[in-house]
Amino acid sequence: MWTLSGFADEIGPDPSEQCALLRELGIRYLELRSAWGTNVLDLTDDQLDQLRKVLASNDIRVSSIGSPIGKINIAEDFDAHLARMDRAVQVAIRMEAPFIRVFSFFLTADQSPRRHRDEVLRRMHALARRGGDGGVVLLHENEKHIYGDIPQRVLDIVESVGLPSLRLAWDPANYVQVGVRPFTEGYRMLRPYTDYVQVKDAVLATGAVVASGEGDGQLPETVRALAADGFDGFFSMEPHLATVDQFGGFTGPADFARATRAFTGLLDAEGIQYR
């Protein structure tokens, strides 16, 4: 049984509004990236407690903390970022989230991946140790313009760090936007480490984000293979159909519902059960 989740802040900033639509769509989890327009790591403990009450009253839980950890340039100060990582672990524990989403540091055009590989791996190992010490698993997401933006370097990260507290989130649209055909070029090598799927699609020719099955993210092939492999995890709706920047996106209620139904339509066509 696969489990649906979603970046509910793409619906709107108010958690009550988010929960209402999630319940209408039959989704009982959310990926917590922001609430009331504030990034999850900047919410106070009182705000987190208020949010917990809203979620509990709607019977909704947190699948992952959608943190911005690792979304800084590789040359920026890492010690300050480790403090943010500690806060992410605290938030995950407080919200009873098993995962924290992370990234492997932005590189500019003149910062070659080969030259910065050792520093990326040092930092990712340190982050994974912090997560593991807190009892939380980190999920590396393949964002554009970071070290781990293509399958080969994602594999390099997870195998070189070699800790059970670092696993992978699979984002097909992000792969498409760096010129990768996700299933064809990445699935076989990354499947052993993949525990979580971010649901969005994109067009190879333009990079435009579209609803599931409307682009080149090879979602039908991917869900078919995951089902055959016995995958049992979260699928987090991240439609990005209205606006997007390097720290998040927005979709709106109507298009969030449309994107969700496009994905569940793919699952229904394959006879895959979900909740």
Q: Which amino acid is at 146?
A: I
At 67, which helix (H) or strand (E)? none
Handedness of CA 128, 130, 133, 139 (dihedral sign): negative
| 217: pLDDT strictly greater than 80 | yes
pLDDT digits (tens, 9 = 90+) for 122-132: 999 999 999 99
Return the pLDDT at 242: 79
Q: How confident is the model at residue 241, as a pLDDT?
A: 85
Which whole number is the average pLDDT over 162-172?
A: 98
Helix (H) or strand (E) holding 178: none
> What is the structure's pLDDT at 245?
59
Q: How far is CA 191 from the centre of its chain?
A: 16
Q: Considering only CA atoms, which of 239, 243, 253 is closest in space to residue 18?
A: 253
pLDDT at 251: 82
For residue 236, pLDDT over 70 is answered with yes
Q: pLDDT at residue 265 above 90?
A: yes
92: pLDDT strictly greater than 80: yes
Lowest mean pLDDT among 11-15, 212-216, 244-248: 244-248
Within a 13 Å sphere around the CA of 248, how many CA atoms are in the beta-carbon half? 23
**Considering only the top CATH level, what class is 3-270?**
alpha beta
Band of the pLDDT at 240, cuts 50, 70, 90?
confident
The pLDDT value recorded for residue 247 is 59
Provide the mean pLDDT of the chain. 96
Is the separation of the CB atoms in 221 and 229 below 8 Å?
no
pTM score, two decimals? 0.96
Report pLDDT digits (tens) over 57-73: 999 999 999 999 999 99
Q: What is the pLDDT of residues 113-149, one digit of tens each?
A: 999 999 999 999 999 999 999 999 999 999 999 999 9
Average pLDDT on 19-27 reads 97
pLDDT average, residue stretch 142-167: 98
| pLDDT number for residue 100 | 98
Mean pLDDT of 67-95: 97
Model confidence at 244, pLDDT cuts 50, 70, 90, reads low
Per DSSP, helices labelled H in the chain are 15-24, 45-57, 78-94, 113-133, 151-161, 172-176, 182, 188-190, 219-229, 253-270
**29-32 and 61-65 beta bridge pairing:** parallel
CA of 209: how far to CAs of 43, 46, 52, 248, in Å? 29, 36, 31, 13
Q: Is 247 helix (H, G, I), strand (E, B) or coil?
A: coil
Alpha-carbon gap, residue 37 to 23, rounded angstroms: 21
